[in-house]
Amino acid sequence: MTDDALERELHRPATAAEVREALTRPIGADERDDVLALVAWFTTRYAEPESRLAYVRRAYQRWARARTT
């Protein structure tokens, strides 16, 4: 696959069937374990609710700036 073809595939709109399939498929044990590990890391790294909120605010600002460039 060429870089252009890959770029088009990555940025194409998902079909209704693809979204439905993604939302209804079972979550595997590996994926569940990965998510739980990320939650454990995040809640350890940002133990207080205030620090979690501050992180989310900073992340949102980064995202908003990236969208405008």
d(CA 22, CA 62): 27
d(CA 55, CA 63): 12
Q: Which of 66, 65, 42 is nearest to 54 (CA)?
A: 42
Domain chopping of the chain, boundaries: 3-68
Q: Pull the structure tokens for residue 60.
A: 């949102």
Q: Which residue has the higher pLDDT, 1 or 3?
A: 3
Q: In the 8-state DSSP scheme, what is residue 47? A: -
pLDDT of residue 64: 92
The pLDDT of residue 68 is above 90: no
Under the banding of pLDDT at 50, 70 and 90, the label for residue 1 is: confident
The pLDDT of residue 67 is above 90: no
**Any idea what the Cα angle at residue 38 is, between residues 36 and 39, rounded to 5°?**
65
pLDDT in tens, 9-48: 999 999 999 999 999 999 999 999 999 999 999 999 999 9
pLDDT of residue 49: 95
